[in-house]
Homo-oligomer: A and B are copies of this chain.
Amino acid sequence: MSREFAFIDALRAIAVSPAARGLADDAAVLELGGQKLVLTMDTLVEAVHFLPGDPPEDVAWKLVAVNASDLAAKGAEPLGCLKSHALGEEDWDRAFLAGLELACRHFRLPLLGGDTVRMPKGSARSFSLTALGRGPEDCPVPSRSGAQAGDLLWVSGTIGDSGLGLELLTSGGRVQTPEAGWLIDRYHRPMPEPALGVALAPLATAMMDVSDGLLVDARRMADASGVSIVITADDVPLSRALVATVGDGLEQRLQAMTAGDDYVLLFTAPAVNSAYVRAAAAAAGSHVRPIGAVAEGADIALEWQGQPTPLPERLGYQH
If over half of A's interface residues share one DSSP class (helix, strand or loop), that class is named, otherwise mixed; here it is mixed
> Is B39 in contact with A110, judged by CB distance below 8 angstroms?
no
Smallest Cβ distance from A36 to chain B, in angstroms? Answer: 10
User: Which stretch (A81-89, A237-245, A305-313) binds chain B?
Assistant: A81-89
Smallest Cβ distance from A56 to chain B, in angstroms? Answer: 13
List CB contacts (< 8 Å) of A96-155 with chain B: 97, 100-101, 104, 110-120, 122-124, 126, 128, 130, 132, 134
A33 surroundings in chain B (CB, below 8 A): 32-35
> Is A113 in contact with B14, judged by CB distance below 8 angstroms?
no
A7-B116, A112-B39, A113-B40 known; A79-B30 Cβ under 8 A:
yes
List CB contacts (< 8 Å) of A1-50 with chain B: 3-4, 6-8, 10-11, 14-17, 19-21, 23, 27-28, 30, 32-35, 37, 39-43, 45-49
> Is A134 in contact with B14, judged by CB distance below 8 angstroms?
no
Contact of A185 with B by CB under 8 A: no
Contact of A55 with B by CB under 8 A: no
A21 surroundings in chain B (CB, below 8 A): 113
Extra pairs beyond A4-B116, A11-B97, A15-B111 (4, CB < 8 Å) = A10-B94, A20-B113, A28-B113, A119-B124
Measured CA separation A94–B14 after assembly (Å): 12
Residue A28 contacts which of B82, B85, B117, B126 (CB distance < 8 angstroms)?
B82
> Is B115 in contact with A43, judged by CB distance below 8 angstroms?
yes
State the number of copies, please.
Answer: 2
Measured CA separation A87–B93 after assembly (Å): 25
A8 surroundings in chain B (CB, below 8 A): 116
Contact of A80 with B by CB under 8 A: yes
Interface size on A, residues (CB 8 A): 68
> Is A19 in contact with B84, judged by CB distance below 8 angstroms?
no
> Is A3 in contact with B112, judged by CB distance below 8 angstroms?
no
Residue A128 contacts which of B10, B27, B97, B128 (CB distance < 8 angstroms)?
B128
> Is B104 in contact with A23, judged by CB distance below 8 angstroms?
no
A113 surroundings in chain B (CB, below 8 A): 15, 20-21, 23, 27-28, 39-41
Residue A117 contacts which of B15, B37, B45 (CB distance < 8 angstroms)?
B45
The 7 nearest A-B residue pairs measured at CB: A28-B112, A17-B110, A28-B113, A33-B35, A130-B130, A41-B82, A128-B128
Measured CA separation A112–B113 after assembly (Å): 19
Measured CA separation A15–B32 after assembly (Å): 25
A82 surroundings in chain B (CB, below 8 A): 28, 39-41, 130
Residue A84 contacts which of B37, B41, B80 (CB distance < 8 angstroms)?
B41
